[in-house]
Chains A and B, each alone.
Chain A
């Protein structure tokens, strides 16, 4: 089988000096079972998996550590600060995550609103600046806003993560124009995070030229997460390859594909 790597020259995704060979990053939340989650992660081909920091359940009746299932030697654990509404809280979670001893990467989320889960831009900027100074590789979740993205890069972010649409919404890429502009202007990788719902969303997102996509609910909430993970892997690869191939220009008139000469009288 011919694969994209055979026909298209691409460079691997590099974030904070670390090289990754998959442009699809996946979350580990909301799966119906750990077995299904592991099979979906395998099918996605992702190297980076996100995890959350939470209290240990002292009576052991509920949550066990995700590390019972995910081997940190095989997957790169990217801790998030999900659920944090202030820069201070997010930094606290980031520092706890780093202390677990796997790496100094953090997916920074400072949420500004409970209903939309849209990011608090001021808090995200503040936390990015401080954590970057502390040596963290900050992947900052943000709006699809160029100025914020530029400020995050200035603040030391290792990657900027504009949303496609709100977290868990599955609405797809709502603002391709702004995402494209962000990618064009930033030097650090741009990873679209949140909102992708199905394979076509992932493909269109990658066609904007972004460096990767992080998704969770699109897999976990699919009827068949393993099949969807496979579809997403192909879609990310297809979208990336189409971007590198360079699409034809859009025209509002028809242009025939067959010769106009040589027609019968």
Chain B
């Protein structure tokens, strides 16, 4: 069985499989990578690189999109 680690996603603690990529994190959250922008430890990760960046325990991930605003 694969080990899980805890990261922070949008300010909330979140358990993921150790060594998971950001792309795998999005898949687990059922989010379309084309519909969100991903920030990993304060650095923007462009879509083509989402599969290459792996999360480590304690990492902070922000997932944002556009909402109504003035």
Q: A37 near B31 (CB under 8 angstroms)?
A: no
Q: A56 near B70 (CB under 8 angstroms)?
A: no
By secondary structure, the A interface counts as mixed
| Chain B residue at minimal CB-CB distance from A34 | B68
Chain B residues whose CB sits within 8 angstroms of the CB of A205 once the complex forms: none
Chain A nearest CB: distance from B67 CB in Å?
A: 5
Interface size class of A (residues with CB under 8 A): 35 or more
Known contacts A58-B10, A99-B37, A99-B46; is-contact A217 B70 (Cβ 8 Å) = yes
Known contacts A67-B35, A96-B37, A99-B44; is-contact A55 B70 (Cβ 8 Å) = no
C-alpha gap A54/B69 in the complex (Å): 10
C-alpha gap A255/B65 in the complex (Å): 60
Counting CB contacts under 8 A, is A65 at the interface?
yes
C-alpha gap A237/B21 in the complex (Å): 52
> A30-57 toward B: CB 8 Å interface, digit per residue (1/0)?
1100000100000000000011111110
C-alpha gap A30/B29 in the complex (Å): 27
Known contacts A95-B44, A96-B39, A99-B46; is-contact A54 B70 (Cβ 8 Å) = no
Tally B residues with Cβ within 8 Å of A. 22
> A85-101 toward B: CB 8 Å interface, digit per residue (1/0)?
00000001001110110
Counting CB contacts under 8 A, is B64 at the interface?
yes
Chain B residues whose CB sits within 8 angstroms of the CB of A77 once the complex forms: 66
Counting CB contacts under 8 A, is B24 at the interface?
no
Q: B64 near A55 (CB under 8 angstroms)?
A: yes
Chain A nearest CB: distance from B17 CB in Å?
A: 17
Total inter-chain residue pairs, C-beta < 8 Å:
89
Q: A65 near B70 (CB under 8 angstroms)?
A: no
> A204-216 toward B: CB 8 Å interface, digit per residue (1/0)?
0000000000111
Q: A65 near B65 (CB under 8 angstroms)?
A: yes
What are 18 inter-chain pairs, A to B, with CB distance below 8 A?
A: A29-B70, A50-B69, A50-B70, A51-B66, A52-B68, A53-B66, A55-B10, A56-B63, A56-B65, A58-B10, A67-B65, A80-B69, A80-B70, A92-B42, A99-B37, A99-B46, A194-B70, A215-B70
Q: A29-B70, A50-B69 are in contact. List 12 more A-B contacts (CB 8 A).
A: A27-B69, A28-B70, A54-B66, A55-B62, A55-B63, A58-B10, A65-B35, A67-B65, A80-B70, A96-B37, A96-B64, A99-B44
A-side interface residues toward B, CB under 8 Å? 27-31, 37, 50-56, 58, 63, 65-67, 77, 79-80, 82, 92, 95-97, 99-100, 167-168, 194, 214-217
